[in-house]
């Protein structure tokens, strides 16, 4: 098979995967389902997780030998875009990038890998801690003698999860442990975000935990998994931007003022063209990054690529969703119109794992270090 044939085959696989995911989400209710789950308290649907798992969505980046599809990070990006289009609250990106990203690198034969791929369990990753003043602080959560003590903050997917993968301090360095949600000494406080989703604040008091890995390998695997997830979050923002633009375009084509569609006004046509160009540039940039990260082995390069993707996607998503609300006029600010859901989700997702300012700074810093070397 020639290289051209391989590329064509890969594109066909990604197209079929996209169609499968889109069909599932549309059949489940699209963005309307997200509104219902938001109003129910920021939860997500376990049945949807199972349905996605049945078509292999969650295991796209896990090697076949470990029970996944083994088709790489670019496939994860396809799924993330479809998640963004319907602003699905399920922790899909978190599972593909963080949970399975950690386990497939550190303990690929652990039973939890198969359970995550099959959708039988959801295991958010807890690695950040809240320092003085509420800002991220140094790790103080400790693991000793099989028990975990301390706290973790900003845990995506904590509401309704079955347990947690926690990065803590051990006696001789970092350690990754597994904590079941129902274990004594484990408590979860859910805090609602602007889009109605919930982030968890975890507390552990001599909580029994299972050690999965320790040492520098944990730090390295976490850094790699965060890079993966950052790029996947960028893809989710691309999907979100794409759908927000479609909604807005449909609206200005049908909304009439002075007996004609407002889309016929030249100034609005120019704004729509500008937004479309921004959308397409962000989409192309993020997809290119995911394709390169799939085969790149240098952690520094992968981290830099992920920052480039997130910075581009955040800038585009914030601009597109804010302008989309304006182009809807006064009704764009009401909750009954879906476009507001997309703006709120864009703001929350933009802040997760670093916004455009942060990642632009990281990218420039990495390039300067590369030039100095």
Residues 81 and 146 in one domain: no
Q: Which residues contact 182 (CB under 8 A, 6 or more apart)?
A: none
Residues 207 and 228 in one domain: no
Residues 224 and 366 in one domain: yes
Residues 314 and 173 in one domain: no
Q: Which residues contact 285 (CB under 8 A, 6 or more apart)?
A: 308, 309, 312, 313
The residue from 85, 117, 149 where one domain ends is 117
Low-confidence stretches of the chain (pLDDT < 50) are 1-7
Place of tokens 């039988």: 120
Q: Which residues contact 359 (CB under 8 A, 6 or more apart)?
A: 230, 306, 307, 308, 310, 311, 314
How far apart, in whole angstroms, are the C-alpha atoms of residue 369 and residue 84? 34
Using alpha carbons, select from 105, 28, 116 the residue that is nearest to residue 67.
Answer: 116
**CA atoms in the 13 A half-sphere facing the CB of 190:** 13
Domain count, the chain: 3
Residues 86 and 141 in one domain: no
The residue from 193, 214, 235 where one domain ends is 214
> What domain range is 366 assigned to?
218-372
pLDDT tens for 204-251 read: 999 999 999 999 999 999 999 999 999 999 999 999 999 999 999 988
Residues 87 and 137 in one domain: no
CATH (domain of 78) = 1.10.540.10
Residues 204 and 224 in one domain: no
Which tokens hold the place of 22?
């889109």
Residues 314 and 222 in one domain: yes
Residues 32 and 139 in one domain: no
pLDDT at 110: 97
CB 207 within 8 A of CB 246: no
CB 70 within 8 A of CB 63: yes
CATH (domain of 136) = 2.40.110.10
How far apart, in whole angstroms, are the C-alpha atoms of residue 200 and residue 276? 36
CATH (domain of 341) = 1.20.140.10
What does pTM read for this prediction?
0.93
Residues 189 and 315 in one domain: no
How far apart, in whole angstroms, are the C-alpha atoms of residue 163 and residue 181? 4
pLDDT tens for 164-189 read: 999 999 999 999 999 999 999 999 99
Burial of 135 (0-12, 13-18, 19+ CB in 10 A): exposed
pLDDT at 2: 44
pLDDT at 137: 83
The residue from 214, 242, 258 where one domain ends is 214
If DSSP codes are grouped into helix, strand and coil, which group holds residue 208? strand
How far apart, in whole angstroms, are the C-alpha atoms of residue 126 and residue 23? 32
Helices (H), the chain: 3-28, 30-39, 46-54, 73-85, 92-93, 100-106, 111-117, 216-254, 266-293, 299-327, 339-351, 356-372
Residues 242 and 179 in one domain: no
Residues 235 and 264 in one domain: yes
């Amino acid at each position: 098979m020639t290289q051209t044939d391989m590329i064509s085959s890969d594109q066909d696989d990604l197209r079929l995967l996209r169609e499968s995911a889109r069909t599932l989400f549309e059949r489940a209710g699209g963005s309307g389902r997200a509104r219902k789950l938001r109003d129910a308290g920021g939860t997500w649907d376990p049945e949807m997780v199972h349905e996605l798992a049945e078509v292999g969505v969650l295991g796209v980046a896990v090697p076949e030998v470990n029970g996944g599809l083994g088709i790489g990070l670019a496939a994860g990006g396809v799924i993330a875009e479809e998640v963004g289009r319907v602003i699905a609250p399920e922790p899909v990106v978190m599972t593909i990038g963080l949970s399975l990203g950690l386990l497939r690198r550190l303990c690929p034969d652990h039973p939890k890998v198969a359970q995550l791929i099959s959708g039988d369990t959801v295991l958010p990753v807890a690695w950040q801690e809240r320092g003085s003043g509420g800002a991220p602080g140094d790790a103080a959560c400790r693991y000793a003698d099989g028990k975990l003590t301390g706290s973790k903050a900003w845990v995506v997917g904590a509401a309704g999860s079955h347990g947690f993968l926690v990065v803590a301090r051990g006696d001789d360095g970092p350690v990754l442990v597994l904590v079941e949600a129902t274990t004594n000494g484990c408590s979860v406080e859910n805090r609602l975000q602007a889009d109605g989703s919930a982030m968890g604040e975890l507390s552990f008091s001599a909580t029994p935990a299972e050690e999965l890995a320790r040492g520098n390998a944990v730090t390295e695997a976490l850094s790699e998994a965060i890079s993966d997830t950052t790029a996947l979050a960028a893809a989710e923002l691309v999907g979100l931007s794409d759908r927000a633009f479609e909604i807005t375009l449909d609206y200005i084509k049908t909304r009439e003022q002075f007996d004609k569609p407002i889309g016929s006004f030249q100034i609005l046509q120019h704004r729509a063209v500008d937004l479309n160009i921004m959308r397409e540039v962000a989409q192309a940039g993020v997809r290119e990054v995911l394709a390169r990260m799939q085969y790149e082995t240098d952690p520094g390069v992968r981290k830099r690529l992920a920052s480039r993707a997130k910075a581009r996607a955040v800038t585009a998503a914030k601009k597109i969703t804010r302008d989309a609300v304006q182009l809807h006029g006064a009704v764009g600010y009401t909750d009954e119109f879906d476009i507001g859901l997309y703006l709120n989700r864009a703001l929350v997702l933009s802040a997760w794992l670093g916004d455009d300012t942060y990642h632009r700074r990281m990218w420039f810093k990495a390039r300067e270090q590369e030039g100095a070397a």
